[in-house]
């Protein structure tokens, strides 16, 4: 994020690879800013544990504990040796009062993180693999500057800069399952593969697919 947080080194906490930083449903009273290492976010959906995200240095997680005073909505696990800054309500208020520029950037990060988490959770609630993959492309298209919209309908083709592994990660499917779905979309001429990019021929088609599956689920 480009923030100088060296003054908050006293809030630093270290976790070893495999450590559970917090568990889904437990009370939360702190959030974390990653300084080193990767953190995996997982959630139980039905009876299956699904990976929601892998976070890297500079990213925040666990912020809902501060914003909503709600139980943890997912679990966080250290994928490597992880160093974080741990903020609770008390030291977060110190940060807000004493460093308005840093506080504003953190709040903007909060907003984006909340949106991203809810958007990815929506994808995982879809039961149909094709709908999941389609919804990933819709999610990624929302950040594409070349995308134009006509009222609420998406009409233009769009190039998505992602790999098959990225798509697999975001939709909670194995790479093999994702490849099978992509082969179907390619055969239907809905998506073309361009090296490490994908050309979606008409996002409206994918939107209709997702909407129809979501109604059934």
Q: Residue 160: which CATH number?
A: 1.10.10.10
* Co-location of 133 and 199 in the same domain: yes
* Co-location of 114 and 133 in the same domain: no
Mean pLDDT of 115-125: 82
Of the candidates 119, 145, 167, which is a domain's last residue?
Answer: 119
pLDDT higher at 81 or 33? 81
Mean pLDDT of 39-61: 83
Residue 196 to residue 38: CA distance in whole angstroms:
24
> How many structural domains are present in the chain?
2
Residue 126 to residue 105: CA distance in whole angstroms:
33
pLDDT at 151 over 70: no
Per-residue pLDDT reduced to its tens digit, 5-26: 666 778 899 999 999 999 998 9
pLDDT at 102 over 60: yes
Is the overall model pTM greater than 0.75, yes or no?
Answer: no
* Whether the Cβ atoms of residue 30 and residue 65 lie closer than 8 Å to each other: yes
Mean pLDDT of 59-74: 79
Residue 133 to residue 27: CA distance in whole angstroms:
33
Tokens of 120: 């990815």
* Co-location of 80 and 39 in the same domain: yes
Residue 137 to residue 160: CA distance in whole angstroms:
7
* 1: in domain: no
* Co-location of 94 and 34 in the same domain: yes
Biggest CA–CA distance in the chain, Å, is 57
Q: What is the pLDDT of residue 60?
A: 84
Per-residue pLDDT reduced to its tens digit, 159-215: 888 888 888 888 888 889 999 999 999 999 999 888 778 999 888 889 999 999 987
* Whether the Cβ atoms of residue 200 and residue 157 lie closer than 8 Å to each other: yes
Per-residue pLDDT reduced to its tens digit, 107-116: 777 777 777 7
* Co-location of 106 and 134 in the same domain: no
Of the candidates 119, 139, 162, which is a domain's last residue?
Answer: 119
Helices (H), the chain: 64-67, 89-98, 100-124, 129-141, 164-171, 175-187, 203-216
* Co-location of 39 and 106 in the same domain: yes
* Co-location of 31 and 113 in the same domain: yes
**113: containing domain:** 6-119
Tokens of 100: 């308005």
Identify the band that residue 132 occupies on the pLDDT scale cut at 50, 70 and 90: very high
Q: Which residues of 172-195 are buried (b: 16+ CB within 10 A; e: fewer)?
A: bbeeeebeebbeebeeeebbeeee
């Amino acid at each position: 994020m480009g923030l100088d947080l060296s003054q908050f080194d006293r809030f630093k906490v270290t976790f070893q690879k495999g450590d559970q930083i917090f568990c889904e449903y437990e009370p939360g009273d702190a959030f974390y800013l990653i300084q080193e290492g990767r953190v995996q976010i997982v959630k139980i959906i039905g009876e299956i544990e699904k990976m929601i995200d892998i976070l890297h240095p500079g990213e925040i997680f666990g912020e809902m504990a501060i914003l909503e005073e709600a139980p943890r909505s997912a679990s966080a696990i250290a994928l490597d040796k992880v160093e974080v800054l741990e903020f609770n309500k008390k030291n977060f208020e110190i940060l807000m009062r004493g460093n308005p520029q840093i506080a504003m950037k953190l709040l903007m990060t909060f907003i984006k993180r909340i949106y991203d988490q809810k958007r990815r959770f929506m994808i995982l609630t879809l039961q149909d693999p094709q709908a999941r993959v389609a919804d990933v492309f819709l999610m990624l298209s929302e950040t594409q500057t070349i995308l134009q919209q006509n009222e609420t309908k998406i009409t233009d083709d769009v190039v998505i800069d992602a790999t098959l592994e990225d798509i697999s990660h975001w939709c909670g499917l194995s790479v093999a399952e994702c490849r099978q779905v992509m082969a179907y979309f390619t055969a239907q001429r809905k998506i073309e593969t361009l090296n490490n990019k994908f050309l979606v021929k008409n996002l409206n088609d994918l939107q209709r697919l997702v909407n129809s599956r979501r109604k059934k689920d």
